[in-house]
Amino acid sequence: MNISLILQMAADADPERIGLVCDGRRWSYGALHRAARGAAKAFATSDCTHVALLDESSEAAAIALFGAAMAGIPYVPLNYRLADADLAALLGRIAPAFVIGDADRAARLSPEQGHTIVSRAGFIVEAERLADTEGELDEPTEPIAVQIFTSGTTAAPKAALLRHTNLLAYILGTVEFGSAAPEEAAQVCVPPYHIAGIAALLSSIYATRRILLLPAFDPDAWLTLAASERATSAFLVPTMLGRIIARMDVVRRETGVAPDLSALQAIAYGGGRMPLELIEHALELFPQTGFTNAYGLTETSSTIALLGPEEHRAAFRSADPAIRARLASVGRPLPTVEIEIRDADGLALPPGASGEIYVRGDQVSGEYRERRALDAEGWFPTRDAGWLDEEGYLFLGGRADDVIVRGGENISPGEIEDVLRTHAAIADAAAVGVPSVEWGEAVCVAVVARPGHDLPSPDALRNLIKERLRSSRVPERILAVDALPHNEMGKLLRREVRKLFSGGSQGPTH
Amino acid sequence: MKPGAKLKSAVCDAEVIVIRGSDVVVECGGVAMALDRPAERAAINPAFAGGTLLGKRYVDAAGTVELLCVKPGQGSLSIGGAPLDVKAAKPLPSSD
| List of chain B residues whose C-beta atoms are within 8 Å of the C-beta of residue A174 | 92, 95
Domain, as residue range, for B13: 6-80
- The CA distance from A151 to the nearest CA of chain B, in Å, is 21
Q: Please indicate if any CB of chain B lies within 8 Å of the CB of A143.
A: no
- The greatest distance separating any two alpha carbons of chain B, rounded to the nearest whole angstrom, comes to 45
What pLDDT is stored for residue B7 in this prediction? Answer: 97
Q: Please indicate if any CB of chain B lies within 8 Å of the CB of A270.
A: yes
What pLDDT is stored for residue B91 in this prediction? Answer: 80
Interface probe, candidates A176, A189, A297, A303, chain B, greatest B C-beta count within 10 A: A176
What pLDDT is stored for residue A397 in this prediction? Answer: 81
Decide if B96 and A302 are in contact by the 8 Å CB cutoff. yes
**Is residue B95 one of the residues assigned to a domain?**
no
**Is residue B61 one of the residues assigned to a domain?**
yes
What pLDDT is stored for residue A506 in this prediction? Answer: 44
What pLDDT is stored for residue A505 in this prediction? Answer: 44
What pLDDT is stored for residue A254 in this prediction? Answer: 94
**Is residue B55 one of the residues assigned to a domain?**
yes
Q: Structural domain tally of chain B?
A: 1
Which residues of chain A are under the pLDDT cut of 70? 152-155, 503-510
ipTM higher than the 0.90 cut: yes
What pLDDT is stored for residue A66 in this prediction? Answer: 98
* Predicted structure pTM score: 0.88
**Is residue B94 one of the residues assigned to a domain?**
no
**pLDDT (tens digit per residue) in B69-94:** 999 999 999 999 999 999 988 889 99
Decide if A199 and B68 are in contact by the 8 Å CB cutoff. no
- DSSP character string of A104-115: HHHHHH-TTS--
Interface probe, candidates A7, A9, A165, A236, chain B, greatest B C-beta count within 10 A: A9
- Residue A345, judged by CB atoms within 10 A of its CB (0-12, 13-18, 19+), counts as exposed
User: Beta strand A404-406 with A409-411: parallel, antiparallel or unpaired?
Assistant: antiparallel
**Is residue B28 one of the residues assigned to a domain?**
yes
CB nearest B96 (choices: A1, A13, A235): A235
**Is residue B75 one of the residues assigned to a domain?**
yes
**Is residue B89 one of the residues assigned to a domain?**
no
Q: What angle do CA A87, A92, A96 make, to 5 degrees?
A: 120
Q: How far is CA A404 from the centre of its chain?
A: 25
Closest-CA residue to A22 (of A194, A237, A203, A188): A188
* Distance in angstroms (rounded) separating the CA atoms of residues A394 and A396: 7
Decide if B94 and A203 are in contact by the 8 Å CB cutoff. yes
**Is residue B22 one of the residues assigned to a domain?**
yes
- The CA distance from B39 to the nearest CA of chain A, in Å, is 20
